[in-house]
Structure 1
């Protein structure tokens, strides 16, 4: 008797949507290992499963709702700290390239006059999903333009104008760009006439400038970056000359650049460069912006959205057209350290019965036992302006993270005094 093998039809590969649906179903499996594996695999898929996870966050099964919500928050966190990626190819003028990069990334670039002349050279570009800052630096390098923050703190973006871009060592991490502006070596000799002794000291500082994308909103930062790794071209391992301190600053409104000095133990003059120089900078950022609209401006009225509860404590009109509103804001987000950071998270708008916006004259925040208190003074377009609607802008997301920036082949000062 002859036996013929049974030929089984090849199963089609599992598509992304089918795979995500199966993994979401496994989030409610009775077996713990199956649930955990499904969660881990969904996390690795990243944004592929976003829409299905959003639907799963409303699932009847509480376990599925919980895990889907956690995965969506993880996605938002990763997006918050990710760089804007840009793609552009062809031959264009520098101004056209910069305008397109800004458009794709949601950033702002101010070109030339009235900010100065601009070298509008035509260049060939082949950017394929690279970070926004790297693309802008490349355009400046190739066209003889330089970049700086706008002088007006209320105007987002950078100014690009004609001038040498310099040869600053640069590093990038997510939406953050850093450049070393200078390296300083100090020799100090002190002669003590009483003792008849001479003391020679040697110190070394590296100055670093940080800036970040417009859409990336920092509300707090570590005052002192930490040295992670440093090694010279002649294999000397460098170390920090200052203690790592957990000191933080809350940002001021409109802040777009921070400069810091890192003190190192003296680097031998025999070293020509730093092959590797890695620093860690602590940041607190907010994202996923939302708006709560209050159309009932009654005192004592509670308004809720997401994890946010808002109460209007008082409304005063001391003069015609002037309105002072005090709000109490309570939410489930853990209070950050330093707590002043939370004051940078909120913006308030007020509109009159004609839909015209009031001008914010002053916003005074305070921390109370029940949460955050915002006392805002507004001025209307006219003496007859009557408040009709209030908008509170707030973030759904706040996260603290250390970003690591690695510089390579950093030239060092090597001259020794005679």
Structure 2
């Protein structure tokens, strides 16, 4: 091997999951997964709407007579106060594992419980001390997290990642937590559960998964393996997302969307998003927007900003989105990406501006400053300044 070969050597880390069950009805195997992990006192972590609806009823039926604790107070964006309540509920129940049921906030809250219980977290300060903000960038957790089984009902893909965020109410920022052991050991992708998820939530998390695909393909940390996965996932999402919402609400299309979301997140230990994710982490909690709505508003403007550094790759993404680029030069082909993305956003009735989302007064300067310190920004393919972010945010009003 010559010196140039050595310099180009890279390593691809695999997620530390045991397995993924997928297919309609697979969640009936939940008791089997609980037994496999040796759990005697798992805590179910979910939201009131999921717990009280058909999804919650279906999961309780699958559990039969198994005794589990239940925490049903998950809140959007996983605010620290709700996360601490979940940790205390787990401690009071003497939980030896967690089961997340719902979307990204439920999964992130369960990850926080999994991490925090063995670490003795009792308050905001001890919780934040474990975050990247608190200095834990290269320091491993002292104790092994509790085992985690995930039953996602949206397309956020948190069930496949080794990180999560908790919203700090004092700073209105999302603190990020990272440890490769917080990924759930077992996940269930069951469209028979996901079919009950409201269209608006499915669409918003779907466009977030599209954002994963696009930003990973453009990321400075991209890999050939993840490139292939996200391009295939993007094509599947392009075809299946419109079928998964609306009056028809095709369960099989939702199952295909779940598989695409899995593909989009499989390499999360190796490559992450860029400017769109960095802004979304802070625009959401500050403006009261779900993450998917921040994506539908921000991603087209981010692609416009990044095009000078990514024109060839944006052209490839445009083709994956179904754009006819026959006879077009590379730059013109790349321009088709935003058009295809906007068509998908409009077809799913997602907002394209803050005004369309009903947001007239948001601390955009605070969002810009917070985004400049977000870890995701280092992966953006084009150098970003505070002025750049403020200008971008001004364009999406």
Normalised by the length of structure 2, the TM-score is 0.26
Whichever structure has more helix as a proportion of its residues is: 2
Bigger-Rg structure (1/2): 1
Greater RCO (Cα-Cα under 8 Å, separation 6 or more)? 2
Normalised by the length of structure 1, the TM-score is 0.25
